[in-house]
Amino acid sequence: MRTLCQIELFELAQDVGTDWPELASMLDFSKKAIDIIKTDVQTTTERALKMLNDWYQRVGIDADLDDVRLKVKTIAEKEKRRQESRQIFPTNLRDHRLYGRDQELNEIAAVSWQGVSHNEVTGIDAFCLQMIIGLGGIGKSAAAAGYAVRFK
């Protein structure tokens, strides 16, 4: 194995970013050790760098930077999937389908156009702002996305 330099560790620290505690767990850091780094070090990159330096000192000659890079890539892919699953609206609204809400969408459209006025001086149209309220899980976001598709 070759000796790692600080530049490599710094670049890796930047790559892992706010996910450094997850990488630390993968590198067998205890929760207590992670908490100490969080307490002692201020910025995210410095925390990640401290953790990587501690790891490197612990494993020494057996340090495998390629393995750590693979772990960082795995974390990044997992975070990307997590972000994609949090999307409220479909990524392509034209493919969005909403069934059984025609009456509600038409009511939203009717109210939206009632308050429309056109300012001749500025050339700007003013529209009515609406809120869709209701219990969680009844389709408020889907109705808003369906409205955006049908009445844009």
Q: How far is Cα 24 from Cα 60, in angstroms, rounded to an integer?
A: 16
Q: Where are the alpha helices (DSSP H) in the chain?
A: 6-16, 20-26, 31-40, 44-59, 65-85, 102-114, 140-150
The stretch 16-34 carries a mean pLDDT of 92
> Cβ neighbours of residue 25 under 8 Å, at least 6 residues apart?
34
Q: How far is Cα 89 from Cα 72, in angstroms, rounded to an integer?
A: 28
What confidence score (pLDDT) does residue 114 get?
A: 63
Per residue in 57-97, pLDDT (tens digit) is 898 878 888 888 889 888 888 877 777 766 555 555 544 56
In this prediction, residue 54 has a pLDDT band, given cuts at 50, 70 and 90, of: very high
Helix (H, G, I), strand (E, B) or coil at 116: coil
Counting Cβ atoms within 10 Å, is residue 41 exposed (0-12), middle (13-18) or buried (19+)?
A: middle
Q: How far is Cα 86 from Cα 49, in angstroms, rounded to an integer?
A: 29
What confidence score (pLDDT) does residue 152 get?
A: 66
DSSP secondary structure letters along 29-49: --HHHHHHHHHH--SHHHHHH
